[in-house]
Amino acid sequence: MVDDLAVRRARAEAVAGSGDHAGAVELFAEIVEDSCRLLGPDHPDTLLARHRHADCLDDAGGTAEAAGLHAAVAADRARVLGPDHPDALLSRHLHAYCTGESGDHELAARLHAAVAADRDRVLGAGHLDALLSHAEHAYFLGLTDRAAEAARVGAAVVAGRGRVLGAEHPETLTSRHNHASHVGDAGDAEEAVRLYALVVEARARVLGPDHPETLMSRHNQAFYVSATGDSEGAVVLYDGVVRDRSRVLGPDHPHTLLSRHNRADSLDDAGRTREAADLHAAVAADRARVLGPDHPDTLLSRHLHAHCVGASGDPGRAAGLYGALAADRARIAGPGHPETLAGRHAHALYVGRSEAPDEAVRLFVPVVEDRVRVLGPDHPDTLLSRHEHAFHVGEAGDEDGAALLFAFVVQDRMRVLGADHPHTLVSRSEHARWVGLTGRTLTARDLHAGVVEDRTRVLGVDHPDTFVSRHLHATSAGDAGEVEEAVRLLAALVVDRAWVLGADHPETRASRHAHERFAERLDLR
């Protein structure tokens, strides 16, 4: 019977090697049961069969269950073989990996850090298994929004693998690829672009220009070029990646669709919003066909298509697209899911921009209530919906209601985000504007003056938002009877806007027109 177990193990391995992971899971489960009965639960062959059962379960998609099995095997191997035995460390490594792949990135990062430390101690810091654990630690740190720490750990992995395997070994190149991503996510997009250029060059030379990993590095290079603000440069890079991924992987491969998606994003960032809308629509249709209409990536493309349609100047159509998307998200994930709430918020927003502020107010009220309930009253998205609700209350004709609502939004954004946060400053500006529209011009003047001072300090004197606040401050001073002060402030603003934006820019013309209007009033006095 023991010999029979060996034959059955070989057969199970062959089934696993053929790609039939579900079949291998069944075979290994039977082997584990019989091995426990014939050899005992602590026999090394039984532990190996349990280990392989967990491996195949992970390959078959049962990653969460596999994490639990690997944890149990790790504990038993540590008890039977000793905690420092390589097999015990391997089971701990795979437990950490499956934990992360199941979605608990925080725990996975901690588990990998512990395994890495023990492998350093037992095997040596330069051992490939130790470096692998450090690499996984860095990877999951990146998924927990600790990019700077991930970059630090990843840099050590790059150095270690480069020393042991060579700078252009495929595993070293993988570490260099991941390190570049973490550097970019930590805020240094320009350095990420530089690192990716080197990785792209090396992967093209070692793996070939059409290798999927080379194409992946080119894709990421384009992503971080966009993050530096060079949207047009990113579009050019994405053009090449889309062309080559379509040729190598096929036009319907998820990676090809992702590159087309990102190209549309960069077109939008470059101001080519109509082109972006058309491309997002095409990607949404293809993702629906390939991945299914309810796939998260399909829904994301529909969301961005609607956004670009609205940004292109068609708020009515955007409202319809967002309404349909919100309904589908509610059907798939429930009406209170954060993504559903985001779609409902956008639907209400574009309904308001379609000159239907009363309907927008009606839609925003339940969005605010549900975001308070689901996300909490202090969540930035809740505060954003409250801001937009207040704005549309005013647009619907209730200036006093808008001023009151904005006063509360300002208070909460200052407490949660800080007085200098751009969102807080926007709410303060809107509060001042609606206060002025209620006829309290002196109060509005003082509120606008405070926003001008803080925006100048935080954003700079030539920032577009600072210009807006300077214009509103000047006109509110004039409306409060301080016509000479308004003329003085507007004269300076016209000069600055002409210098920064150009003499014929619409906002420069608006300030010039306001200056002329108040100057005429001054002459008539």
Q: Are 336 and 375 in contact (CB under 8 A)?
A: no
Residue linked to tokens 């308001």: 352
> Quick one: tokens of 234?
């990113």
Using alpha carbons, select from 254, 279, 285 the residue that is nearest to residue 266.
Answer: 279
Which two three-digit tokens encode residue 415?
Answer: 């407490």
Task: Note whether 108 and 99 are within 8 A (CB).
Answer: yes
Number of H helices, E strands in the chain: 25, 0
Start-to-end Cα distance in the chain: 111
Euclidean distance between CA atoms 30 and 35, whole angstroms: 8
Other C-beta atoms within 10 Å of 124: how many? Answer: 11
For the question of whether the overall pTM of this predicted structure is more than 0.75, the answer is: yes
Helix (H, G, I), strand (E, B) or coil at 262: helix
Among candidate residues 312, 370, 379, 321, the one with its CA nearest the CA of residue 346: 321
Distance CA 146, CA 102 (A): 19
CA distance linking residue 520 with residue 525, whole number of Å: 9
Q: Side-chain half-sphere of 265: how many Cα atoms within 13 Å? A: 20
Q: Which residues contact 229 (CB under 8 A, 6 or more apart)?
A: none
pLDDT in the model for residue 363: 97
Please state the separation of Cα 519 from the chain's center in Å. Answer: 49
Cβ–Cβ under 8 Å, residues 387 and 426 = yes
**What was the pLDDT predicted at 3?**
64
CA–CA gap between residue 414 and residue 416 (Å, rounded): 6
Instruction: Answer whether 24's CB lies under 8 Å from 12's CB.
Output: yes
Indicate the SS3 state at residue 42. coil
Take residue 174 and report the two structure tokens written for it: 């993988």
3-state SS, residue 252: coil
166: left (phi over 0), alpha (psi -120 to 50) or beta: left
Q: Are 128 and 122 in contact (CB under 8 A)?
A: no
- Pick from 305, 401, 385: which is nearest to 352 by CA? 385
Torsion angle defined by CA atoms of residues 83, 87, 91 and 96, in that order, rounded to the nearest 10 degrees: 70
Residues 216 and 194: beta-carbon distance below 8 Å = no
Cβ 24 vs Cβ 56: under 8 Å: yes
Block mean pLDDT (10 aa), the chain, length 525: 79 91 91 90 92 94 95 96 96 97 96 97 95 97 95 97 96 97 96 98 97 98 97 97 97 97 97 97 98 97 97 96 97 94 97 96 97 96 98 97 97 96 96 96 96 96 95 94 94 95 95 93 71
Q: In this predicted structure, what is the pLDDT of residue 5? A: 83
Residue pair 403/431 in contact by the 8 Å Cβ criterion: yes
Whose tokens are 């010999």? That residue is 3
Q: Would you say 488 and 523 are in contact if contact means Cβ atoms under 8 Å apart?
A: no
